[in-house]
Structure 1
């Protein structure tokens, strides 16, 4: 299994990971496997699946998509320890058999279907760069920038992408919680959203209505990261666009869809587990406002240096109609209830075709750099 055939490309699909979104990654990757087994992908790609356990072990897995989705893949007899070799001569994986035999598995392109830390934050993207392997999605810098809300907000401010009022603090400042709260209260009015700067979808986020709640929210956020971000509450519609493409060859953005959250705000469970939130495509906005959101999504995508794909999240404030960028997610969910594939499907790009196009963008991105 050292080389792919002349007629197919070998795609290494990475899933799981050590982040708080491990389970969602497994479900997203299972959807990718099913998509890759259908046309137009089935005749074009050979798939190698690399699962990363919560404690950071890398295992090549040959079992079913269902086993990936339900988490039982780790106990499958097909699992073999492996690593991604940084040696460009290997251009792929090293797999270790029980007898000590090492097999080199050359791969043509990597698809890191990994959410959160160590997956969409630029870390594994850097490993792919060192190994000289093309990969799906944003590059090292854009991945890191979009993952860090304090850095992303700063760049959006500098680029003229409208955003809500905000501030941030390092963990050390929380040693004096009263002083920290006083500083935040001088900038923002209650209620205040409190977020870890670096964490996955809605993990560690709280809505604080007073100082005691604010202090508790800071502790919750700092359990996930060493920086905390504070943002003003925006009473508005939550809308999202799917951005697709590379800046060199053109970026397209879908009309926005709308999230009707099942809780007070759009939680991690709403996004990935309980499915109680509702999705409307297109969002309940005027044609002019739909165009404005899409235009700003493209502006944010380019300003933050994104390539391949991103889900661009916005608020449209009630009363004023202000369009404010919330964040860009560089590897959004690909589950059955995820917004990104739903938006692309609404624009006529089915799941298998979407996966095929994303791999094509990876191979075309900065052609010659690998």
Structure 2
């Protein structure tokens, strides 16, 4: 069988640049080299597309030195519509043809990568790509519209108030009153950011202004949500040739940390355990899997998603959010859930790539 050429695209302009780069390290190490030829393409923090080294160790997840894409002077030239040949401009200005691209694997997190923009770019170029499409990526990147879509399908979400920075600055009193009705504790989060960047837990209304200031630094649109008491359960969703599948659920167990923040997710911070599979009854597993698939379909999901829910003491399931390009390092919950369900990390990457090729 002839090998197919896969562009692994990572980095980007968002605050999650380093996590995307670390994900690339895991993917480059595990992708099936007998099946695919790989072209690593990095996006610098300034937005330049550069040809990167095919070296997983360069992008290893290291809390003391987070990986990133550095501008090396090369520039990628994407093919025009109808042409699949990828080219690179060397620092001396010479152009080199790399290969005809079969599919792009965009392992990008946050704005300009997980919000539908890069997906639209590849749609225009008529280049197949893995993962979410334009609509589901854009909708799930904006937590306000994600909640609206889920509610319209009868899926429970936590009560919330959407706060726009200009409205807060002009007249905060009505918003303060609406937020006070949500009860405590509250979670304040940017509407369009991920990896818990800019998120704060508010135990008293006196902490609200400071929490909003942190969130507004990431996005002018912020959600203030009621804190839901329940087990934090995550289920991985994958679109396969045989239909949409849900993994065994995993659980985030907080032992001393207030919530599952950036340090707990990626930097090995104390006070949190990631358990997969979660200890749940067969009925609970089936219910979470069903809600996960329903949520994926409610946003017109493509490729994959991680659906995060709260399982309450009375058996209720409240969807917290969908992530259309979840953390994909080997230690992240999404791969862990599929490994627990019998799908290896390498085979999971193959499933994603093949899904992009089918589309």
Q: TM-score, normalised by structure 1?
A: 0.90
Cα 1:73/1:224, change in 2 over 3 Å: closer
Indicate the SS of the match to 1:74: coil
Question: What is the distance in 1 between the residues matched to 2:134 and 2:154?
Answer: 23
Q: Which runs of 5+ in 2 are unaligned?
A: 61-65
Distance 1:72 1:292 in 2: 39
Displacement of 1:179: 3.7
Aligned partners of 2:134 and 2:143: how far apart in 1?
A: 16
The whole-number CA distance in structure 2 between the counterparts of 1:259 and 1:223 is 27
1:245 to 220, 224, 239: 239
Instruction: Tell me by how many angstroms 1:45 deviates.
Output: 0.6
Separation of aligned partners in 1, 2:17 and 2:47: 11
Whole-Å separation in 2 of the counterparts to 1:324 and 1:341: 23
Match of 1:368 in 2: none
Q: What residue is the counterpart of 1:144 in the other structure?
A: 138
* Structure 2 counterpart of 1:62: 53
Q: Which residue of 2 aligns with 1:311?
A: 306
CA RMSD of aligned residues (A): 1.8
Residue in 2 aligned with 1:163? 157
Q: Secondary structure at the match of 2:70?
A: helix
Preserved CA contact (<8 Å) 2:17 2:68: no
* Residue aligned with 2:92, SS: coil
TM-score by length of 2: 0.92
Alpha-carbon distance in 1 for matches of 2:123, 2:206: 45
Q: CA deviation at 1:113?
A: 0.8
Q: Which residue of 1 aligns with 2:67?
A: 71
Confirm or deny: 8 A CA contact 1:116 1:199 kept in the other structure.
yes
8 Å CA contact 1:334, 1:341 repeated in 2: yes
Matching residue within 252, 269, 280 for 1:259: 252
| Residue equivalent to 1:321 | 315
- Look up the SS of the partner of 2:75 in the other structure: strand
Q: Specify the alignment match of 1:94 in structure 2.
A: 87
Which residue in the other structure is 1:293 paired with?
288
TM-superposed CA distance for 1:73, in Å, is: 5.8
Look up the match of 1:3: none
Tell me the SS of whatever aligns to 1:66: helix
Describe the superposition over 1:141-192 as per-residue Cα deviations: whole angstroms up to 9, x where unpaired. Answer: 1000011000000000001111111121222111133442123223x11211
Distance 2:82 2:96 in 1: 14
SS of the residue corresponding to residue 19 of structure 1 reads coil
Farther-moved stretch of structure 1 (327-336 vs 254-263): 254-263
In the TM superposition, residue 354 of structure 1 has moved relative to its aligned partner by 0.9
Distance 1:238 1:57, change over 3 A: same
Out of 260, 272, 275, the position equivalent to 1:280 is 275
Q: Does the CA-based 8 Å contact 2:44-2:69 persist in structure 1?
A: no
For 2:187 and 2:69, the matched residues in 1 are separated by 37
Cross-structure match for 1:236: 230
Residue 75 of structure 1 and its aligned partner are, at CA, apart by: 7.0
CA positional deviation for 1:215 = 1.6
The question of whether the paired residues in 2 share the 8 Å contact of 1:12 and 1:47 is answered with yes
Q: Structure 1, unaligned stretches of length 5 or more?
A: 1-5, 366-370
- Kept in 1, the 8 Å contact 2:184–2:204? The answer is yes
Partners of 1:363 and 1:235 in 2: CA distance: 41
Using the TM superposition, name which of 204-213 and 135-144 deviates more.
Answer: 204-213
Q: CA deviation at 1:242?
A: 0.7
* Distance (whole Å) between structure 1 residues aligned to residue 172 and residue 203 of structure 2: 16
Structure 2 CA distance for aligned equivalents of residues 101 and 90 of structure 1: 20
The size of the alignment, in residue pairs, is 350
* CA pair 360-100 structure 1, distance change in 2 beyond 3 A: same
C-alpha contact 1:275 1:337 (8 A) present in aligned 2: no
C-alpha contact 2:88 2:97 (8 A) present in aligned 1: yes
1:1-370 alignment to 2 at 5 Å? Answer: 7-36=2-31, 41-69=32-60, 71=67, 74=70, 80-85=74-79, 87-105=80-98, 106-175=100-169, 176-186=171-181, 188-245=182-239, 249-261=242-254, 263-274=257-268, 276=270, 277-318=272-313, 320-365=314-359
**Distance in 2 of aligned mates of 1:251 and 1:61:** 33
